[in-house]
Amino acid sequence: MSASTDVTATAAPAAAAAPATARRRAHAAAGPLAVAPLLIVVAVAFGIPALAMLGGAFTTTDNGPGTAVHYTTGNLTASLQGAYLTALLGSVKLSLTAALISTVAGLLLAQAVVTSRYAVLRHAVLSASGVLANFGGVPLAFAFVATLGNAGVLTQHLGLDKAGWSLYSFWGLVLVYLYFLVPLMVLTVIPSLDGLRAQWREAAQNNGATTWQYWRHVALPVLAPSLLGGFVLLFGSAFAAYATARAMVGASVPLITLQIANALNGNVFAGQGNVGLAMSLDMVVVAGLVMAVYIPLQRRSARWLV
C-alpha cells in the first residue's frame, strides 16, 4: 500500500511539471517567429541596399556597346582623392565641431534642468528637446534663412550683414546643426545626470572638496563614458545630415553627402554613379567606427549609473 502511495506521490509533480515544460518549449519556439517580421524588414530595407552599394562600389561598366561589368578598386581610390576627399574631410570637420559644441552646451543645459526645483521646467525642456531633436531638413533650413539669411529678419534688424555674417558658410551651418544636436544631447545625458548619487556630492563636500573639484574628480569621470557616447552619437547625426545642408549651402561648403548626390545624379561628371556608391561605402565605414566606439561606452556608463 505504501509503495503505491509513493509512486502516486512521485508521479503527481511530474505530471504537473509536464504542461509547464511544454509551455516553455512553445514560448522558446515562438521567439524566432516573433522577430521574423523585423528580420525581413531589416533584410529588405538595409540588406538589399547594402549589397547594391557594395556591388556598385567595386564594379565598373564599359561605356561602349554592351553591358560588360568589371571588378575594380578604382572607385574607392577616386572617392578618396581630390574634391571627394576634401568633401569627406569637410564633413568630418563639421561634424566634430558641431558635436563638440553641442556636447558642452547640452551638458550645461541638462544640468540646469536636473538641478531645477521646478518639475514643469523639466517636462517642458524634455518635451521641447524631443521635438527639436527631430526637426531638420528643408523646414529647418527655411526657418534659418528667413531669420538669419542675407535678407533675414534678425540679419536686417541687427545689421549682421554689415559685420560680415553669412549663414551660407561653415559656421552658419554649424549654428543650424546646433538647433537639433543640442536637444539630442540633452535627451542623451539627462538619464546619466539623474544617476549621479547625492551621497557622492555629500562625501566630497564633507572632505572639503569644492564644486569644481567634485566635478573634476567625481562627476566628470563617472559621466565620461556617457558624454563620449553622446558626442559620438551627435557626430554620427551631423555626419549623415543631408537635406538641411543641401537646402542651405549647396556647393559652397564641401560635404560628402552633397558629393554623393552630385555623383549619383551626374551633376558634375556623367557616369560617376559608382564613385558615389564608393563614397557611400566610405560613410558606412566611418559610421561603423562610430558605432564601434559608441556601444562599449554606453555599456560602461550603464554599469556605473545603475
**SS3 labels along 274-291:** HHHHHHHHHHHHHHHHHH
Q: List pLDDT tens digits, range 269-298.
A: 655 678 888 888 888 888 888 878 777 776
CATH architecture of the domain with range 73-304 = Orthogonal Bundle (1.10)
Q: What percent of the chain has pLDDT over 90?
A: 14
Q: Is 63 exposed, middle or buried (0-12, 13-18, 19+ CB in 10 A)?
A: exposed
Among 170, 139, 188, CA closest to 301: 188
Q: Positive or negative, the Cα torsion across 254, 257, 261, 263?
A: positive
pTM > 0.85: yes or no? no
Of residues 1 and 178, more confidence is placed in 178
Q: How high is the pLDDT of residue 5?
A: 52
Residue 7: pLDDT above 60?
no
Name the residue ranges covered by the structural domains of the chain. 2-57, 73-304
Residue 75 near residue 273 (C-beta atoms within 8 A)? no
Residue 200: pLDDT above 70?
yes
Q: How high is the pLDDT of residue 98?
A: 94
According to DSSP, the residues that pair with 59 across neighbouring strands are 71
Q: Positive or negative, the Cα torsion across 153, 158, 163, 165?
A: negative
CA-CA distance, 149 to 64, in Å (whole number)? 47
65-69, 119-123, 179-183, 186-190, range with the lowest pLDDT:
65-69
